Amino acid sequence: MTGVAARALTYAVGNATLVDGVDLVVSDGEFVAIVGPNGAGKSTLIGLLAGDLRPSAGGVELLGEDLAGVPVGELALRRAVLKEQGVADIPFDVRAVVAMGRYPHRLDPDNTQLADITAVDEALDRTSTSHLAGRVFATLSGGERTRVSLARVFAQDAPVLLLDEPTTALDVAHQERVMSQMRFEARRERAVVAVLHDLNAAAYYADRVILMAEGAIRAEGPPRGVFVEKILSEVYRQRMRIIDHPFRDCPLILVAD
Amino acid sequence: MGSVVISPSEVWFAFLHRIGLDIGAEPSFRAEAVLWDIRFPRILLGLLVGAALAVTGAVLQGLYRNQLADPHLLGIGPGAALGGALGSISGGVQGAIAGATAAAIATALITRRLGATRSLDPSRFILTGVALGAALTAWVGFIVFASDSTKVPPIQFWLLGSLTGSTWRALVTVAVIVGVGLSGLFFASRILDLFALGESEARHLGVDVDLATATIVMAVGAIVGATVGAVGVVVFVGLLVPHIVRRFTGPAHRPLLVSSALGGGLFVVLADLLARTLADPVDIPVGLLTAAVGGPFFLWLIRKPPRGEPT
């Protein structure tokens, strides 16, 4: 089934077209990475898919229904969003912040207090933040804040996940953990869309890669199809080399001199 | 305590007498009149005003994620005073309350528009409110000096607030507006918690941010307006009380709002007690006392480094 889909999605401000006629379909069970240089329109695309921005043309469908027609409370049961730059000085403790991810489920008649507690515990565990549960969010480091915000998104338990740079400020070990958790989300029939800057992480973990440049999709497909020297070098205006990863079954992208 | 000396037992007997129990000494007619018609409504109005201002302060701080937010600093109080002065020309105290409530709702909506401007940093938002308040206060002055002083209360009433002359009728009107408004705000406490994550995050979690903000802001306006119409602008309660209370309750709005209501009521009643007794038999405006405490506190607050940064 379709998680999230966009048709001819366009977003223009003044005379700048930030997203230009994007078509895309992400099914449940799929982990799609959006990559591309700064200013390619990746975050704007996430904003459009999340319903934060109103498209200038085209539209978005969430679980087969036009996003514009879904009430905001119902929307929160369908998609969870991680923004690139969230508020840092949240005065609540970590557990309270993650528990806020359960707010949408007040509309769900089958939801129980036990389900809320289980979901929060699980989300803390999956992002390795259980030990931070009692800490005030505002006192955390950048990487810890990213993980706690991701835990909030997991706790929301929505079929569509829209994540803008979920690995910002994470060390290598936590990045690996978070990437495999996103793939795990896809394996349990969620549609996962993540903006990533680390091409090698995308190459190994994502089922499909969308390469954006100047507001449009430049290339799309499995990592081996998109991560091609010619395309990457052109889009990033930087010579790149691609070899086979010595022990992972994926391409390895290197910056060439 | 106060200009007329009444003993505690007289207070008790007067109360019992009023509710129909003739036990103990018959209260003197004078003591009963002073208590029943002056002191009781004054204390109850003080409780209401304090609760109203402290809760709206806490709500604005949460809504705008701004530690310095306060209904009067943001200009809502002065807006209410302008409406109140205009209302009192034709309608006495009830007119003042009606006018102040309407004007405060309008001013609150204006501050919301100013607060919605993304580029505005927290301090500039407050400064905008202070500037708006100063301009509105000037208009209060014009109206007071241009109108019949037997109908419109003097400028110091509007600017400094005073519980002198509290009546049962004013109390009932204020109680209805504040009661309805505060219940609405308590009901919105979980939504206010979500605003701490940021507006777009609140929307992602299913909050209709525009509708919620507009409703909360109008409730704040109505509550603040009703109090200003009845007693004028009592400054700094909305800033001082929630900050102290938050140290004990934490940031969650449900306990914060309930405790702020209690703390605010107590604070204003105590300040008014001092106002009545310090320069006995002269009644000092209660707002002078809250400002004397609140001003230095406000200074301390702006000099304090923001949360999350090392001290």
Residues A131-166: tens digit of each pLDDT = 999 999 999 999 999 999 999 999 999 999 999 999
Q: How many CB atoms are closer than 10 A to CB B306? A: 9
Residues A240/A229, Cβ–Cβ less than 8 Å: yes
* pLDDT higher than threshold 60 for residue B118: no
Q: Please name the residues in contact with B107: beta carbons below 8 A apart, sequence gap of 6 or more.
A: B75, B76, B78, B79, B80, B132, B136, B221
Contacts of B298-302 with CB under 8 Å at 24 or more apart are B298/B68, B298/B236, B298/B239, B301/B67, B301/B68, B301/B239, B301/B243, B302/B68, B302/B123
In contact, B148 and B85? CB cutoff 8 Å: no
Nearest-by-CA chain A residue for B202: A100
Average pLDDT of A177-183? Answer: 96
* Residue B133 and residue B73 in contact, taking contact as beta carbons nearer than 8 Å: yes
Nearest CA to B63 out of B244, B204, B257 is that of: B257
Across A190-199, B9-18, B202-211, least confident range:
B9-18
pLDDT at A90 over 70: yes
Yes or no: say if B89 and B98 are a contact pair by the CB < 8 Å rule. Answer: no
CA distance A127 to chain B (A): 19
Is residue A40 a contact partner of residue A212, using CB atoms and an 8 Å limit? Answer: yes
Confidence class of residue B310 from pLDDT cuts 50, 70 and 90?
Answer: very low
Taking the CA of residue A91 and the nearest CA in chain B, the distance in Å comes to 6
Higher pLDDT, A82 or B302: A82
Measure the CA–CA gap between B287 and B21, rounded to whole angstroms. 37
User: Per-residue confidence at B294, pLDDT binned at 50, 70, 90?
Assistant: confident
A138 → closest Cβ in B204, B206, B307: B307
Mean pLDDT of A2-21: 94
Mark yes or no for CB contact A76/B306 under 8 Å.
no
Given an 8 Å threshold on Cβ–Cβ distance, is B205 in contact with A88? Answer: no
Q: Other C-beta atoms within 10 Å of B278: how many?
A: 12
Is residue B65 over pLDDT 50? yes
Tell if the CB–CB gap between B205 and A103 is shorter than 8 Å: yes
| A158 beta partners | none
Predicted confidence band at A109 (pLDDT cuts at 50, 70, 90)? very high
Q: Distance from A210 to chain B by nearest Cα, in Å?
A: 24
Position B305 pLDDT exceeds 80: no
Does B226 or B39 have the greater pLDDT score?
Answer: B226
Contact B227, B174 (CB under 8 A): yes
Nearest chain B Cα distance for residue A87, angstroms: 6
Residue predicted with more confidence, B87 or B38: B87
Position A180 pLDDT exceeds 90: yes
In the predicted structure, residue A208 carries a pLDDT above the cut 80: yes
Return the higher-pLDDT residue of B152 and A219: A219
Query: Residue written as tokens 């769900």?
Result: A108
pLDDT, averaged across chain B? 86
**Tokens 């459009």 identify what position?**
A48
Give the helix/strand (H/E) hosting B250: none
CA distances to A194, A210, A213, B28, B124 from A34, rounded to whole Å, are 6, 5, 11, 84, 37
Beta strands in chain A (DSSP E): 2-13, 16-27, 31-35, 57-62, 65-66, 79-82, 160-164, 191-195, 208-213, 216-221, 240-244, 251-255
**E strand or H helix that includes residue A152:** helix A142-156
Out of B190, B198, B207, name the one closest to residue A86 (CB): B198
User: Which residues of A are less than 8 Å from B193 in CB distance?
Assistant: 92, 96, 100
Does B193 sit within 8 Å of A76, measured CB to CB?
A: no
Q: Is residue A214 within 8 Å of A182, Cβ to Cβ?
A: no
Question: Which chain B residue's Cα is nearest to A135?
Answer: B308
Residue B308 has pLDDT above 90, yes or no: no
The pTM of the full predicted model, rounded to 2 decimals, is 0.90
More confident residue, B12 or A128: A128
- Which chain A residue shows the shortest CA-CA distance from B210? A72
Per CB-CB distance under 8 Å, the chain B contacts of A96 are 193, 252
Residue B23's pLDDT band (boundaries 50, 70, 90)? low
Across the interface, of A90, A91, A104, the residue whose CB is closest to B206 is: A104
B8 has pLDDT over 90 = no
Testing the interface with B: which of A44, A103, A146, A153 to mutate, by most B Cβ within 10 A? A103
Above 70 in pLDDT, residue A2? yes
Question: Average pLDDT in the A94-114 region?
Answer: 95
Radius of gyration of chain A (CA): 18
What residues of A are in contact with residue B194 (Cβ under 8 Å)?
Answer: 100, 103
User: Of chain A residues 90-109, which have a CB less than 8 A from chain B?
Assistant: 90-92, 96-97, 100-101, 103-104, 107
Domains and CATH numbers, chain A: 2-255 (3.40.50.300)
User: What local confidence, expressed as pLDDT, does residue B91 receive?
Assistant: 84
CB contact under 8 A, A107 and B251: no
Domains of chain B (ranges; CATH) run 40-303 (1.10.3470.10)
- Residue pair B48/B265 in contact by the 8 Å Cβ criterion: yes
Residues on B contacting A at a C-beta cutoff of 8 Å: 65, 190, 193-194, 196-198, 200-201, 203-208, 250-252, 306-308
Calculate mean pLDDT across residues B123-140: 90
Non-local (6+) Cβ contacts of A130 within 8 A are A121, A124
B292 vs A148 pLDDT, higher one:
A148
Contact B242, B174 (CB under 8 A): no
- In this predicted structure, the answer to whether residue B38 has a pLDDT above a threshold of 80 is no
Q: Residue B12: its pLDDT value, please?
A: 66
The CA distance from A224 to A210, in Å, is 12
Instruction: With cut-offs at 50, 70 and 90, classify the pLDDT of residue A176.
Output: very high
Q: How far is CA B205 from CA A77, A154, A199, B175, in A?
A: 8, 12, 30, 34
CB crowding B110-126: b at 16 or more within 10 Å, else e: bbbebbeeeeeeeeebb
Q: CB-based contact (8 Å) between A65 and chain B?
A: no
Whole-angstrom distance, CA of residue B202 vs CA of residue B222: 25
Of residues A169 and B302, which shows the higher confidence score? A169
Residue tagged 């020309």 (tokens): B89
Residues 6+ away with beta carbon under 8 Å from A215: A17, A18, A19, A20, A22, A40, A41, A44
pLDDT value at residue B311:
35
* Secondary structure of A40-95 in HEC code, one letter for each residue: CCHHHHHHHHHCCCCCCEEEEEECCEEHHHCCHHHHHHHEEEECCCCCCCCCCEHH
Taking the Cβ of residue A163 and every Cβ of chain B, the question of whether any pair is shorter than 8 Å is answered with: no
- The shortest CB-CB distance from A72 to any of B201, B206, B251 is to B206
Average pLDDT value for residue range A98-122 = 95
Query: Residues 66 to 95 of A: which have CB under 8 A from any B CB?
Result: 72-77, 79-81, 83, 86-92
Band (pLDDT 50/70/90 cuts) for residue B309 is very low
The per-residue pLDDT for B22 is 59
Model pLDDT, residue A226: 96
Beta bridge partners of A136: A93
> Cβ A81–B204 below 8 Å, yes or no?
yes
pLDDT digits (tens, 9 = 90+) for B165-187: 778 888 999 999 999 999 999 99
What is the structure's pLDDT at B249? 94
pLDDT in tens, B66-110: 888 999 999 999 999 999 999 988 888 889 999 999 999 999 999
Decide if B203 and A52 are in contact by the 8 Å CB cutoff. Answer: yes
Q: Do B197 and A138 touch (CB under 8 A)?
A: no
Least confident range from A26-35, A170-179, B202-211, B283-292: namely: B283-292
